[in-house]
A and B are shown apart, each in its own frame.
Chain A
Amino acid sequence: MSTWLLLSATVLWVGAVAMMIVKTPHTMAVMYRMQAVAEAGVASLLAIFGHRPAYWSVVALIIVLKIFVIPGVMNRGLKPMRQAYGTHGPFGMSALLLLALLLSAGGIVVGHLGLPYPLPMGLVVAAMLVTFVHLSGRYEVWSLLWGILSLETVMDVGVLTWGTSIPAIGEVGIDMTGLALALVLGYVAAEVWRVKHGLDVRDREELIG
């Protein structure tokens, strides 16, 4: 089980790092699907090795929502943003990448502070920290949108691995909330595009609070 868990956590972390540096919204969707496969993998491990067959419904839901529905809706809703190409960060992408790798090392160390599966759980912490760097360092609407959805997947894997006592019905509720989050994010992102005709959210007029 630990080998499969390690593989899933590694895929999740690689997806988080890749989402931080990719240049196009389309690639974001690909990376998001990859993370969803990792999440479904963790849920299926619980179903098989945890002897909790109800978790197969969670696996099915993750596949339907995160591999088909959410990327499909996002790709359609964000069609005008497909012209977007490029990566921008306040200190350059190499500095962001370096910071992400340093925090990843920190996350792996944290995993060894008494968690049951130190390396896989450390990688989940690392993926979480990398996504925080992503959300702090990127400022294009589409990048932030996919960053939050990625964080939702990472946190959900954290919930599955750290809080294994969670019943399948709770996990189904969390995934459905994730769908609602994606829909509202897509709606607001489309509205941002409509009123600003741009993707950069640094020049918000309202951000004076």
Chain B
Amino acid sequence: MTTDALWIIPLGLAATGLGYGIVPVNRLGWVSGIAGAFLLFWLVALPLRLWQGTGPLTTWFFVIVAILSIFGIWYSGPYITREAREHHWSERRVKGYYVFFMLFIGSLSALAIWTNFIFLWMAIEAATLTSTVLTAHPASRGAVEAAWQYIVVTELGGLVALLGTLLSLTAVGIPLFAWSFVPAHQTLSGVHQHWALIGAYMALVGYGTKAGLAPFHTWLPDAHSEAPAPVSALLSGLKLAGAMFIVYRLFHVLALSLPPAYLKDALIVLGLLSLVIAAGSLAVQRDLKRLWAYSSIEHIGLISLGMGFGGIALVGAFLHIWTHAASKTLLFHNAGTVRILYHSSHSDHGARGILHRTPWTGALLALGSAAIVGLPPFAPFWSEWLILAGGLRQVGDRPAAIAAGALIVLIFIAIARRVPGWLFTPGQVGTSLPNTIQEPLGLILPNAVLGVFVLGGGIGFPLLVHPLWHHVVLQLVSQQGGG
């Protein structure tokens, strides 16, 4: 069943996507229900042992992909209905959104559960190409330009990653098809070891571009701010982390043949640089979606740091994949709601006083913001703490961990200064407040449920899925030789 599931899940999601194309537009909700039920089935089947992933790490990432994709499908219904009505989308455009959204989710699930590096490259390419179409979907000038920049920059990265992966694996003699229906083949002989390192760095640059690691992040703020909100959420929470997951798996394989310090140091340098870029940019953002886009660069930097530090920081990095994804999905969905209700997510263009005018939306923005900056007891606090503690434990990594801690404080200050600009309306005491805005239940309910996840389930999630998390930690520790 496990081997079949590797194909059934992505292809089933893709087939569901094509289903959107053939049903009438007033029946799209039914197809969404089927898609959600399909993902839920594979989630429930895990504890029932009807299938198992190819390892605890892949299963962990699949669980995150499935849960947040269900929320994405749920939120897409009311969001796209409002968006289509407001911008006069044709039926074809509405259906097109759902088709590509499901293909995007299918590619993300493949990214989680496949293990062969060539297939993983194809999965992340599929995720990039489908999300490019989705980014251009609003058809505004900004969206099309963002999509163009996105595809040009990330495809350069993707092609470099392909060659780097092949080069490094071939140079160290790893069979390219260790699993699959094709048996392992001979490897290229006569290749010097330094080509393996060059290939590893090429792969890091390539997948780092896909992950939005600085300095390869230039596509990210534009694409995240222009794409429809459910797409931005999955891009930020899952696709970026998926690219880092490939890097981790590749480096884990290569570390058997290459000096691990070379690989880890590269991850630490790019992670720190991402924090620097985020700290410098967050303080001046006035668009909510761009704010969270730069925040994504910060959190991918933290995941990169955790993978670079190793030890307990690596456990923190894998926990952070969940904590960041859940909080950021809430925040991007919330930003989408703000954009619909206020016709802008820019604080200078009317998106102000949100807490008073739309209390539910404002409360969820406050909740998500408190979580994403790493305030205790929200889950990102614990995962960030593990990453920093892991860095501080090792003498060689201590300066980088201290620098990262200082940058996190700067980022906290930047977000804490900016978010009140959306939440409150500045003015003299006694002046009349603007009218409240009706909040549609359809837009609020998915985010409210996700808010409960972030609030209570954040730190409780590893406990809820304790057997799986236990295996994840065991695998991470064993991969580092008990360290």
Contacts and interface: CB of A to CB of B under 8 A. Distances in A.
A177 interface: yes
Contacts of A205: 141-142, 145
Contact of A163 (B141, B170, B218): B170
B23 interface: no
Contacts of A144: 152
A56 B356 CA distance: 67
Given A151-B159, A166-B166, A180-B129, A206 B187 contact: no
Nearest to A152: B159
Contacts of B139: 191, 195
Contact of B145 (A113, A155, A206): A206
Give the dominant DSSP class at A's interface. helix
Interface stretch (B219-227, B239-247, B412-420, B442-450): B219-227
Given A206-B145, A207-B222, A181 B155 contact: yes
B162 A174 contact: yes
Interface residues of A, number: 44
Interface stretch (B189-197, B260-268, B317-325, B327-335): B189-197
B89 interface: no
B136 A191 contact: yes
Interface stretch (A57-65, A77-85, A182-190): A182-190
Contacts of A189: 148
Contact of A191 (B147, B162, B222): B147
Interface string A109-149: 00001111000000000001000100100000100100010
Contacts of A174: 118, 121-122, 162
Given A187-B136, A206-B226, A148 B176 contact: no
Interface string A149-169: 001100100110011111101
Contacts of B221: 209
Nearest to B140: A195
A166 B182 CA distance: 10
A166 B118 contact: yes
Given A141-B148, A170-B176, A196-B141, A209 B188 contact: no
A167 B132 contact: no
B188 A173 contact: no
Contacts of A163: 166-167, 169-170, 176, 188
Interface string B440-473: 0000000000000000000000000000000000
A52 to B, nearest CB: 9
A73 to B, nearest CB: 15
A151 B155 CA distance: 10
B192 A113 contact: yes
A170 B118 contact: yes
A102 interface: no
Nearest to A158: B163
A47 interface: no
Nearest to B147: A188
A205 to B, nearest CB: 6
Given A116-B188, A206-B145, A173 B122 contact: yes
Interface of A: 113-116, 128, 132, 135, 141, 144, 148, 151-152, 155, 158-159, 162-167, 169-170, 173-174, 177, 180-181, 184-185, 187-189, 191-192, 194-196, 201, 204-207, 209
Interface of B: 118-119, 121-122, 125-126, 129, 132-133, 136, 139-142, 144-149, 151-152, 155-156, 159-160, 162-163, 166-167, 169-170, 175-177, 180-182, 185-192, 194-195, 217-222, 226, 281, 290, 293
17 contacts: A114-B194, A151-B156, A163-B166, A163-B170, A163-B188, A165-B187, A165-B188, A170-B182, A180-B125, A181-B129, A184-B151, A187-B136, A191-B147, A195-B144, A196-B144, A209-B217, A209-B221
Across the A-B interface, the 7 shortest Cβ-Cβ residue pairs: A209-B221, A163-B166, A114-B192, A167-B182, A163-B170, A165-B185, A155-B159
